[in-house]
Structure 1
Protein backbone atom coordinates (compact mmCIF):
# COMPACT_ATOMS: atom_id res chain seq x y z
CA UNK A 1 0.00 0.00 0.00
CA UNK A 2 1.65 3.25 1.10
CA UNK A 3 5.10 3.55 2.63
CA UNK A 4 6.01 5.49 5.73
CA UNK A 5 7.58 8.82 4.81
CA UNK A 6 8.06 10.59 8.13
CA UNK A 7 7.45 13.93 9.74
CA UNK A 8 9.77 16.83 10.18
CA UNK A 9 8.99 19.32 12.89
CA UNK A 10 10.92 22.47 12.32
CA UNK A 11 10.65 26.15 12.95
CA UNK A 12 11.13 28.70 10.28
CA UNK A 13 9.61 30.34 7.26
CA UNK A 14 7.58 29.06 4.39
CA UNK A 15 10.48 28.27 2.07
CA UNK A 16 9.80 26.69 -1.29
CA UNK A 17 10.35 22.95 -1.32
CA UNK A 18 10.52 20.07 -3.75
CA UNK A 19 7.19 18.52 -4.64
CA UNK A 20 6.23 15.01 -5.63
CA UNK A 21 2.91 13.71 -6.95
CA UNK A 22 2.79 11.13 -4.14
CA UNK A 23 3.50 13.52 -1.26
CA UNK A 24 1.74 16.37 0.52
CA UNK A 25 3.63 18.73 2.79
CA UNK A 26 1.81 20.81 5.39
CA UNK A 27 3.53 23.78 7.02
CA UNK A 28 2.42 26.03 9.83
CA UNK A 29 3.31 27.29 13.28
CA UNK A 30 3.87 23.65 14.30
CA UNK A 31 6.66 23.19 11.72
CA UNK A 32 6.07 20.86 8.81
CA UNK A 33 4.74 17.37 8.15
CA UNK A 34 5.08 15.34 4.96
CA UNK A 35 2.59 12.62 4.05
CA UNK A 36 2.88 9.91 1.40
CA UNK A 37 -0.46 10.04 -0.45
CA UNK A 38 -2.63 8.45 -3.06
CA UNK A 39 -4.40 11.08 -5.16
CA UNK A 40 -8.13 10.90 -5.92
CA UNK A 41 -8.63 13.40 -8.74
CA UNK A 42 -11.60 12.02 -10.65
CA UNK A 43 -15.18 11.29 -9.62
CA UNK A 44 -14.74 7.51 -9.34
CA UNK A 45 -11.59 7.77 -7.21
CA UNK A 46 -13.16 10.42 -4.96
CA UNK A 47 -16.30 8.28 -4.51
CA UNK A 48 -14.20 5.28 -3.45
CA UNK A 49 -11.84 7.24 -1.21
CA UNK A 50 -10.55 5.17 1.70
CA UNK A 51 -13.63 2.93 1.92
CA UNK A 52 -12.91 -0.62 3.06
CA UNK A 53 -9.30 0.19 4.05
CA UNK A 54 -8.62 -1.74 7.27
CA UNK A 55 -5.43 0.05 8.29
CA UNK A 56 -3.22 2.85 7.07
CA UNK A 57 0.42 3.45 8.02
CA UNK A 58 1.24 6.60 9.95
CA UNK A 59 2.12 9.62 7.76
CA UNK A 60 0.14 8.34 4.79
CA UNK A 61 -3.21 9.39 3.44
CA UNK A 62 -5.34 10.33 0.47
CA UNK A 63 -5.50 13.71 -1.24
CA UNK A 64 -8.83 14.53 -2.89
CA UNK A 65 -8.47 17.07 -5.71
CA UNK A 66 -11.51 18.79 -7.22
CA UNK A 67 -11.67 20.58 -10.57
CA UNK A 68 -12.82 23.83 -8.94
CA UNK A 69 -13.53 25.14 -5.43
CA UNK A 70 -16.84 23.83 -4.14
CA UNK A 71 -18.89 23.02 -1.07
CA UNK A 72 -17.20 20.00 0.50
CA UNK A 73 -19.06 17.48 2.61
CA UNK A 74 -17.82 13.97 3.41
CA UNK A 75 -19.15 10.96 5.29
CA UNK A 76 -17.64 7.75 6.58
CA UNK A 77 -19.83 5.16 4.82
CA UNK A 78 -17.84 1.92 4.47
CA UNK A 79 -14.78 3.63 5.98
CA UNK A 80 -13.34 1.32 8.61
CA UNK A 81 -10.69 3.51 10.25
CA UNK A 82 -10.99 6.87 12.06
CA UNK A 83 -9.77 9.76 9.92
CA UNK A 84 -8.83 13.41 10.23
CA UNK A 85 -10.01 15.47 7.27
CA UNK A 86 -8.05 18.57 6.33
CA UNK A 87 -9.99 20.87 3.99
CA UNK A 88 -8.05 23.47 1.95
CA UNK A 89 -8.90 26.28 -0.45
CA UNK A 90 -7.67 26.65 -4.04
CA UNK A 91 -4.36 28.17 -2.85
CA UNK A 92 -3.76 25.30 -0.43
CA UNK A 93 -4.56 27.18 2.79
CA UNK A 94 -6.21 24.93 5.36
CA UNK A 95 -9.73 26.16 6.14
CA UNK A 96 -11.08 23.40 8.38
CA UNK A 97 -9.72 20.38 10.23
CA UNK A 98 -12.25 17.74 11.21
CA UNK A 99 -10.68 15.45 13.79
CA UNK A 100 -11.38 11.78 14.36
CA UNK A 101 -14.25 11.12 11.96
CA UNK A 102 -16.05 8.03 13.24
CA UNK A 103 -15.82 4.87 11.14
CA UNK A 104 -19.03 3.87 9.33
CA UNK A 105 -20.87 7.06 10.43
CA UNK A 106 -23.05 8.51 7.67
CA UNK A 107 -23.44 11.93 9.30
CA UNK A 108 -22.27 14.61 6.84
CA UNK A 109 -18.97 16.28 7.71
CA UNK A 110 -19.02 19.84 6.37
CA UNK A 111 -15.60 21.13 5.34
CA UNK A 112 -16.38 24.54 3.88
CA UNK A 113 -17.83 26.45 0.94
CA UNK A 114 -14.81 26.97 -1.31
CA UNK A 115 -12.77 23.80 -0.86
CA UNK A 116 -10.58 22.38 -3.61
CA UNK A 117 -8.38 19.90 -1.67
CA UNK A 118 -9.09 17.47 1.14
CA UNK A 119 -6.36 15.46 2.81
CA UNK A 120 -7.45 12.41 4.81
CA UNK A 121 -4.98 11.08 7.38
CA UNK A 122 -5.19 8.79 10.41
CA UNK A 123 -7.62 10.00 13.07
CA UNK A 124 -6.01 12.09 15.80
CA UNK A 125 -2.80 12.75 13.88
CA UNK A 126 -3.63 16.34 12.90
CA UNK A 127 -4.08 17.23 16.57
CA UNK A 128 -0.90 15.46 17.64
CA UNK A 129 1.07 17.33 14.97
CA UNK A 130 -0.63 20.69 15.59
CA UNK A 131 -2.23 21.06 12.13
CA UNK A 132 -4.86 23.80 12.33
CA UNK A 133 -6.65 26.21 9.96
CA UNK A 134 -4.14 28.62 8.45
CA UNK A 135 -1.52 25.96 7.78
CA UNK A 136 -0.55 25.64 4.12
CA UNK A 137 -0.60 22.56 1.92
CA UNK A 138 1.95 21.87 -0.79
CA UNK A 139 1.39 19.49 -3.72
CA UNK A 140 1.92 19.80 -7.49
CA UNK A 141 -1.86 19.79 -8.10
CA UNK A 142 -2.19 23.13 -6.29
CA UNK A 143 -0.33 24.87 -9.09
CA UNK A 144 1.48 28.19 -9.46
CA UNK A 145 -0.93 30.23 -7.31
CA UNK A 146 -0.29 28.10 -4.24
CA UNK A 147 0.38 29.80 -0.92
CA UNK A 148 3.34 27.41 -0.71
CA UNK A 149 4.49 26.82 -4.32
CA UNK A 150 6.60 23.91 -5.48
CA UNK A 151 10.11 24.51 -6.81
CA UNK A 152 9.77 21.92 -9.55
Structure 2
Protein backbone atom coordinates (compact mmCIF):
# COMPACT_ATOMS: atom_id res chain seq x y z
CA UNK A 1 0.00 0.00 0.00
CA UNK A 2 2.90 2.41 0.59
CA UNK A 3 3.72 2.17 -3.11
CA UNK A 4 0.19 3.33 -3.92
CA UNK A 5 0.69 6.48 -1.86
CA UNK A 6 3.61 7.60 -3.98
CA UNK A 7 1.45 7.55 -7.11
CA UNK A 8 -1.74 9.12 -5.74
CA UNK A 9 -2.68 12.65 -6.77
CA UNK A 10 -3.00 15.15 -3.92
CA UNK A 11 -6.80 15.07 -4.23
CA UNK A 12 -6.77 11.36 -3.32
CA UNK A 13 -4.89 11.85 -0.06
CA UNK A 14 -6.63 11.09 3.23
CA UNK A 15 -8.28 13.76 5.35
CA UNK A 16 -8.01 13.76 9.13
CA UNK A 17 -10.26 14.60 12.08
CA UNK A 18 -8.91 17.35 14.33
CA UNK A 19 -8.54 17.69 18.07
CA UNK A 20 -6.10 19.16 20.58
CA UNK A 21 -3.94 17.91 23.42
CA UNK A 22 -1.60 19.33 26.04
CA UNK A 23 1.86 18.18 27.03
CA UNK A 24 2.62 18.85 30.69
CA UNK A 25 6.34 18.88 31.45
CA UNK A 26 8.02 18.04 34.74
CA UNK A 27 9.37 21.61 34.73
CA UNK A 28 5.81 22.96 34.83
CA UNK A 29 5.30 23.77 31.15
CA UNK A 30 1.91 23.27 29.50
CA UNK A 31 2.05 23.13 25.70
CA UNK A 32 -1.10 22.86 23.59
CA UNK A 33 -0.98 21.25 20.16
CA UNK A 34 -3.70 21.31 17.54
CA UNK A 35 -3.58 17.79 16.16
CA UNK A 36 -4.84 15.71 13.31
CA UNK A 37 -5.83 12.15 14.18
CA UNK A 38 -4.43 9.27 12.16
CA UNK A 39 -7.12 6.70 13.02
CA UNK A 40 -7.57 4.37 10.04
CA UNK A 41 -4.86 2.14 8.55
CA UNK A 42 -4.73 4.33 5.42
CA UNK A 43 -4.44 7.51 7.49
CA UNK A 44 -1.72 5.93 9.61
CA UNK A 45 0.14 4.81 6.50
CA UNK A 46 -0.02 8.30 4.99
CA UNK A 47 0.65 10.28 8.17
CA UNK A 48 2.43 13.54 7.41
CA UNK A 49 3.75 12.41 4.03
CA UNK A 50 3.88 15.06 1.32
CA UNK A 51 3.45 18.00 3.76
CA UNK A 52 5.71 20.93 3.00
CA UNK A 53 5.16 22.61 6.37
CA UNK A 54 3.55 22.15 9.76
CA UNK A 55 2.41 24.99 12.02
CA UNK A 56 4.56 25.36 15.18
CA UNK A 57 1.67 24.28 17.43
CA UNK A 58 0.44 21.48 15.16
CA UNK A 59 0.99 17.75 15.09
CA UNK A 60 -0.44 14.38 14.19
CA UNK A 61 -1.46 11.75 16.74
CA UNK A 62 -1.38 8.07 15.87
CA UNK A 63 -3.37 5.90 18.28
CA UNK A 64 -3.43 2.13 18.76
CA UNK A 65 -6.23 0.06 20.30
CA UNK A 66 -3.77 -1.47 22.75
CA UNK A 67 -0.19 -0.71 23.81
CA UNK A 68 2.39 -2.20 21.45
CA UNK A 69 5.91 -1.59 20.18
CA UNK A 70 5.89 0.97 17.37
CA UNK A 71 8.18 1.63 14.44
CA UNK A 72 7.97 4.55 12.00
CA UNK A 73 9.92 5.75 8.97
CA UNK A 74 10.06 8.99 7.01
CA UNK A 75 9.34 7.82 3.47
CA UNK A 76 7.83 10.67 1.43
CA UNK A 77 7.95 12.93 4.49
CA UNK A 78 9.35 16.30 3.45
CA UNK A 79 9.93 17.96 6.84
CA UNK A 80 11.96 16.86 9.89
CA UNK A 81 9.78 15.59 12.73
CA UNK A 82 10.06 14.79 16.41
CA UNK A 83 8.28 11.54 17.27
CA UNK A 84 6.96 11.43 20.82
CA UNK A 85 6.10 7.87 21.88
CA UNK A 86 3.35 7.80 24.51
CA UNK A 87 2.44 4.99 26.92
CA UNK A 88 -1.12 3.93 27.77
CA UNK A 89 -0.97 6.11 30.90
CA UNK A 90 -0.13 9.23 28.87
CA UNK A 91 3.53 9.33 29.94
CA UNK A 92 6.16 10.01 27.31
CA UNK A 93 8.15 6.78 26.87
CA UNK A 94 10.80 8.20 24.54
CA UNK A 95 11.35 10.88 21.93
CA UNK A 96 13.14 10.62 18.61
CA UNK A 97 14.20 14.13 17.66
CA UNK A 98 14.61 15.48 14.14
CA UNK A 99 13.78 12.38 12.13
CA UNK A 100 15.39 12.86 8.73
CA UNK A 101 13.06 13.55 5.78
CA UNK A 102 12.79 10.66 3.28
CA UNK A 103 14.76 8.29 5.53
CA UNK A 104 13.81 4.63 5.46
CA UNK A 105 15.59 4.00 8.78
CA UNK A 106 13.28 2.63 11.47
CA UNK A 107 12.43 4.94 14.36
CA UNK A 108 11.32 2.74 17.26
CA UNK A 109 9.55 3.14 20.56
CA UNK A 110 11.52 2.16 23.66
CA UNK A 111 8.66 -0.09 24.74
CA UNK A 112 4.92 -0.61 24.25
CA UNK A 113 3.04 2.60 23.40
CA UNK A 114 -0.58 3.55 22.87
CA UNK A 115 0.18 6.63 20.78
CA UNK A 116 2.76 8.56 18.84
CA UNK A 117 2.68 12.33 18.44
CA UNK A 118 4.59 13.79 15.51
CA UNK A 119 5.51 17.48 15.77
CA UNK A 120 8.01 19.74 14.03
CA UNK A 121 11.60 18.61 14.31
CA UNK A 122 13.41 20.21 17.23
CA UNK A 123 10.21 21.39 18.92
CA UNK A 124 10.43 18.93 21.83
CA UNK A 125 13.94 20.18 22.71
CA UNK A 126 12.87 23.85 22.39
CA UNK A 127 9.95 23.26 24.76
CA UNK A 128 11.87 21.00 27.15
CA UNK A 129 9.64 17.96 26.54
CA UNK A 130 11.29 14.79 27.88
CA UNK A 131 10.60 11.14 28.65
CA UNK A 132 8.37 10.94 31.72
CA UNK A 133 6.36 14.08 30.84
CA UNK A 134 2.60 13.69 30.53
CA UNK A 135 0.27 13.99 27.55
CA UNK A 136 -3.20 15.18 28.52
CA UNK A 137 -5.67 13.61 26.11
CA UNK A 138 -8.84 11.52 26.41
CA UNK A 139 -7.35 8.39 24.77
CA UNK A 140 -4.85 8.16 27.64
CA UNK A 141 -7.42 8.90 30.37
CA UNK A 142 -5.54 12.05 31.30
CA UNK A 143 -7.72 14.81 29.82
CA UNK A 144 -8.63 17.59 32.22
Give the TM-score category using the shorter length.
0.7 to 0.9
1:10 corresponds in structure 2 to none
SS at match of 1:97: strand
Q: Which runs of 4+ in 1 moved over 3 A?
A: none
> What is the Cα-based RMSD across aligned positions, in Å?
1.1
2:22 corresponds in structure 1 to 25
Matched residue count: 126
1:129 corresponds in structure 2 to 127
Q: Is the 8 A contact 1:42 1:66 kept in 2?
A: no
Bigger shift: residues 111-120 or 129-138: 111-120
2:92 corresponds in structure 1 to 94
Q: Is the 8 A contact 2:93 2:111 kept in 1?
A: no
SS at match of 2:139: helix
Q: Deviation of residue 83 (structure 1)?
A: 0.2
1:150 corresponds in structure 2 to 143
2:67 corresponds in structure 1 to 69
> Which of 18, 35, 38 pairs up with 1:37?
35
TM-score (norm 1): 0.79
Which is richer in helix?
2
Q: Deviation of residue 97 (structure 1)?
A: 0.6
TM-score (norm 2): 0.84
Deviations 1:82-116 (A, max 9, x none): 00000011111000011000000000011122111
SS at match of 1:96: strand
Structure 1 residue runs without a partner (length 5+): 1-20, 144-148
Structure 2 residue runs without a partner (length 5+): 1-17
Q: Deviation of residue 138 (structure 1)?
A: 1.1
Deviations 1:48-92 (A, max 9, x none): 100001111111000000111111111000000000000011111
